[in-house]
Amino acid sequence: MATKTVKTYCRFCHAYCPMEATVENNRLIALTPDTSNEMYGGYTCIKGRQMIDQIDHPTRLQQSQKKQPDGSFNAIGTELAMDEIAARLQSILNSYGPRSIASYNGTYSYQNSAAHDVARAFHAAIDSPSYYTSVTIDQPAKVAIGPTRMGWWNGGSHMWNDSDVAMIIGNNTLVSHYSIPGGIPAFSPHNALRDGKKRGMKVICIDPRVTEVASRADLHLQVRPGQDAAILAAIIAVILADELYDKAFCLEHVEGVEQLREHTQRFTPEAVSAAAGIPAEQIITAARMFAAGPRGTAVTGTGPEMGPHPNLLQHLVQSLNAICGRHYREGERLPNPGVLTPMGPRSAEATGPQPQWLSDGVKSRVSEDICETVVLSPYGPLKEMPTAVISDEMLLEGEGQIKALICVGGNPLLAWPDQEKTHAALSGLELLVCIDIKMAATAQMADYVLAPKMCLEREDVTLLTDIWHDKPYSQYTQTVVEAEGDKIEEWEFFWAIGKRMGLNMSMTNGPIDMQEKPKKFDLLENITRGSRVPLQQIYNTEGGKIFDVPDVILDAPDPTTRGRLQLFPPGLEQELSGAYSDMKSSSTEEYPLLLISRRMKNTYNSTGPELGLLKSKGTTNPAFMHPKELAKLQIADGDIIEVHSRHGAIPAVASASNDIRPGVISMSHCWGGSPDPTANADQQVREIGSNTNRLIDNLENAERYSGMCRQSSIPVAIRKLS
């Protein structure tokens, strides 16, 4: 029998851990860490190691499905399915116009390195702005609103491996395997944290839970949820009042220091400590420890950005980094400007705010305050519509109403806020197409479900994480096993539909061949044209590698292009006032508890519980509470409880946990099933969990610009059901 070993990398999530796959007669028989990889050192997580189970799992779709009049599904050839889908899309386009056709590109779509660019090319070809992704569910402030309002530093911020201090706000990389540069790297995070501590790095953690990161921090502020923005304002106030900021950097590159000082001074450590439930001395210590640096950045996770005042919080975090000068300067080496990014000089200068990005794009039909968000990428600014209000865009009648949705690698029925509204919106579509490996909750509502190839059945390059590493690292993986059955890649769907509709599709660096289906390598070469390391060289390299490329030394600022970072953009005064008012009110007598989000080690959003080993670790998303809180309510560990908010109610399994402060419930999102009573999802809470999005009104407390609603720090009450 023919046996081979292939160096590849995991795409279960975005950490991209290197692996070695053993294949026998096109069957995956072993999957182990690549211990020879110099960047990861043999690290993998429990989820990625289950791909050997996932690729042949009984629930996996082997061919595409079409919904029948009675609601059942029958197999259909993928080519025939795309013939029918293209005809229906053309009819919808002719009847309702370009904006009526939308795509939602979920978390798994990011793991296919060609999917997003070809999807964007499809949207551009039909002139539809209705391109949505999962990133605007939980972090539009970080990737779009924050840099748009403040500007950004072209020389990059301090990375973890050359930092003296880090402030980590609601980010548990040891479980989530996610952090922006500056936080604990997602690539072998335990080793990175351990190595940082060994060299004397100070870690400050702000989190309502004693997370895996918090338990290893030098200082943990175990705050009451919802007060993150107030705490950051207080830390900034201490640093400015005590003259601990980088005056030289601010004088040369920053605007609005005095305005920020004036409007944060009322956030005294004493006032904020009372609201946040922590000693005032902790706030002062955190401010002084971070300011002492002298190198290191503050970063946020998705948790606090899903809570109150995310736009303000992200702006204050960026402001903290700016006033402390936590950016690389003229003459310093930029650790990793990217391997796949274009070559060119980099300057130690700011690009100022881009206020036109907040108003000049396509407006949401839901609110004049919401429009296209502009997400910064290594290849330039990219526009997308905010997912927070996509359900309303489907339900609101009139010109521009979304009539067709293509869902790629996502599960909107479980992921989007306000689940009841999401269900109504998806039910009202004229066409719903899902590309999914299984009949997930959203796929069960679809007209067509197309079976995709899984990551080990396709080639890819580490495009998403290219600038997240602190060294010029990249990996191109060949196909490990050929897909069996009738399966396609996500990008192939958009190309095939475009061809059938007679579209001319083009990406940033050139057109796509619409006569003969291009090779994936050719698409990736188009995307990365002019990269520091040619894609062909990465393709020819076995396994992941840190490439030997010339250092990028930051040039002096160019007087003709340099801008200034704006600490006090329009609207910030009102946002600070809102955060200050919220210090006096969070929970109420009717809803005395605060529900926060969390990650779970054995799942990745809604993927994982169906796999054997991961299933044995748990099949529900418990409602974690402090034992004292459960005892007070005479609830035992494992009891079924009802969690209810002003908007809705869900069942949950109570679980005692000493790592969470009293007055708080912690549950993971993206669990449960359909809210349709006929689905009987609530009766299966121990088997499939429960969906916290049913507790949320997506238009309540919506953020300006992004429309993002409050998905964490939700006032709730509980009662025992069993």
Using one digit for the tens of pLDDT, what is the confidence trace for 236-246?
999 999 999 99
DSSP 82-133: HHHHHHHHHHHHHHH-GGGEEEEE-GGGGGSTTHHHHHHHHHHHHT---EEE
Average pLDDT along the chain? 95
**Sequence-ordered list of residues with C-beta below 8 angstroms from that of 403, at least 6 positions apart, any chain:** 92, 95, 96, 100, 101, 429, 430, 431
Please provide the CATH number assigned to the domain covering 583-720. 2.40.40.20
Q: Report residue 625 as tokens.
A: 């509470």
Q: Where residue 613 falls among pLDDT bands split at 50, 70, 90?
A: confident
Nearest to 720 by CA among 621, 626, 628, 654: 654
The arithmetic mean of pLDDT across residues 40-64, rounded, is 91
pLDDT at residue 542 in the model: 96
pLDDT at residue 73 in the model: 98
pLDDT at residue 614 in the model: 76
pLDDT at residue 520 in the model: 98
The CA-atom distances, in angstroms, between 625 and each of 60, 126, 621 are 35, 49, 12
pLDDT at residue 380 in the model: 87
The dihedrals phi and psi of 123, each to the nearest 5 degrees, come to: -60, -40
In the predicted model, is pLDDT for residue 1 greater than 70? no
In tens, the pLDDT along 517-565 reads 999 999 999 999 999 999 999 999 999 999 999 999 999 999 999 999 9
Nearest to 655 by CA among 685, 631, 699, 625: 625
Q: Report the amino acid identity of residue 168.
A: I
pLDDT at residue 603 in the model: 80
Query: Which H helix or E strand runs over 230?
Result: helix 228-241
| Higher-scoring residue by pLDDT: 151, 619 | 151
Q: Which fold has domain 65-129+385-452+487-529?
A: Rossmann fold (3.40.50)
The arithmetic mean of pLDDT across residues 278-299, rounded, is 98
Superfamily per CATH, domain 157-327: Dimethylsulfoxide Reductase, domain 2 (3.40.228.10)
Lowest mean pLDDT: which of 74-83, 178-187, 446-455?
178-187
Q: Check: pTM over 0.75? Answer yes or no.
A: yes
In tens, the pLDDT along 472-493 reads 999 999 999 999 989 999 999 9
Helix (H, G, I), strand (E, B) or coil at 475: coil
Q: Where residue 610 falls among pLDDT bands split at 50, 70, 90?
A: confident
In tens, the pLDDT along 374-432 reads 998 888 899 999 999 999 999 999 999 999 999 999 999 999 999 999 999 999 999 99
In the predicted model, is pLDDT for residue 50 greater than 80? yes
Q: Report residue 310 as tokens.
A: 């995310």
Domain boundaries, the chain: 65-129+385-452+487-529, 157-327, 583-720
Q: Where residue 608 falls among pLDDT bands split at 50, 70, 90?
A: confident
The arithmetic mean of pLDDT across residues 586-615, rounded, is 83
In the predicted model, is pLDDT for residue 128 greater than 90? yes
In the predicted model, is pLDDT for residue 587 greater than 80? no
**Sequence-ordered list of residues with C-beta below 8 angstroms from that of 391, at least 6 positions apart, any chain:** 416, 418, 421, 422, 424, 425, 698
Give me the percent of the chain exceeding a pLDDT of 70.
99
The CA-atom distances, in angstroms, between 569 and each of 257, 550, 566, 574 are 11, 38, 6, 11
In the predicted model, is pLDDT for residue 586 greater than 70? no
